Chains A and B, each alone.
Chain A
Amino acid sequence: MNAFLDAFNYWVFAVLLMIGFYAVMARHNLIKKLLGLSVFQAAVFLLFISMGKVDGGTAPIILGDNWDAVFSNPLPQVLILTAIVVGISTLALGLAIVVRIKEAYGRISDIDAPKVKSGADTPS
């Protein structure tokens, strides 16, 4: 039980990863898939930040020139900080594609073969 609590963040990471993965794999609605992808991303962020945590440490922003305190690892934070912004950009790109699919086919789920509505512009 104690080992479970010590790795609680990692278990949550695994559960969130699988929730997101399930939505991406099994849901038919494209926006739901994108939301699932966001949860998946958030799980990865959580994994990185959890790995950078040091017991008894504090945020890697030095207060009052005290360089000898225990700090958490700044490197995963840097990676994830940029990854979050990249995440929103990819989300926006995905949403743009979904909007175009809706305009062209009138639906946003991938059930059955999509039919092109008559009179609609096919995507160029």
Chain B
Amino acid sequence: MMIGAAVAIAVTMFLALLRALMGPSVYDRVLAVNMFGTKTVLLLSVVAHIAGRSDYLDLALAYALINFIGVLAVLEFFRLRKVQQTKEAPPGEAVGAADEVDERPIPGEGGS
């Protein structure tokens, strides 16, 4: 049963990695990294169970902690970038949009 769960987690890691590779926006990538981190924690817990070594769980705990810090670092980065853009751009211009906005056009949005 646990092996089945491990397989499901591994497949999900692959899906999350695809999302991280595809983007398209920066937020998708962060989302993928966050998801990937959680899946790694789960996978390690399952591996610890299968290997029968409970001391591996320390690692899973460390991963959970570190993953959170990673996401917060990204948020802080977004905030800093926004501060910089507001500073650099002349007032009145739109700033701070995701710089890799979804490339597919959204038809009808402008016309209506």
Interface size class of A (residues with CB under 8 A): under 10
Tally the A-B contacts, defined by beta carbons under 8 Å: 8
**B53 within 8 Å of A (CB atoms):** yes
**A61 within 8 Å of B (CB atoms):** yes
Bound form: Cα–Cα A63–B51 in Å: 13
**B55 within 8 Å of A (CB atoms):** yes
Within 8 A of B (CB), among A58-72: 58-59, 61, 63
Instruction: For the complex formed, measure the closest distance between the CB of A91 and the CB atoms of chain B, giving whole angstroms.
Output: 15
Bound form: Cα–Cα A41–B56 in Å: 24
Q: Which residues of B contact A58 (CB under 8 A)?
A: 51, 53
Q: Which residues of A contact B51 (CB under 8 A)?
A: 58
Bound form: Cα–Cα A63–B53 in Å: 9
Bound form: Cα–Cα A58–B51 in Å: 9
Chain A proximity mask over B29-51: 1 for CB below 8 Å, otherwise 0: 00000000000000000000001
Q: Which residues of A contact B (CB under 8 A)?
A: 58-59, 61, 63
Since A59-B53, A59-B56 are in contact, a sample of 6 more A-B pairs with Cβ atoms closer than 8 Å, ordered by chain A residue number, is A58-B51, A58-B53, A59-B55, A61-B55, A63-B53, A63-B55
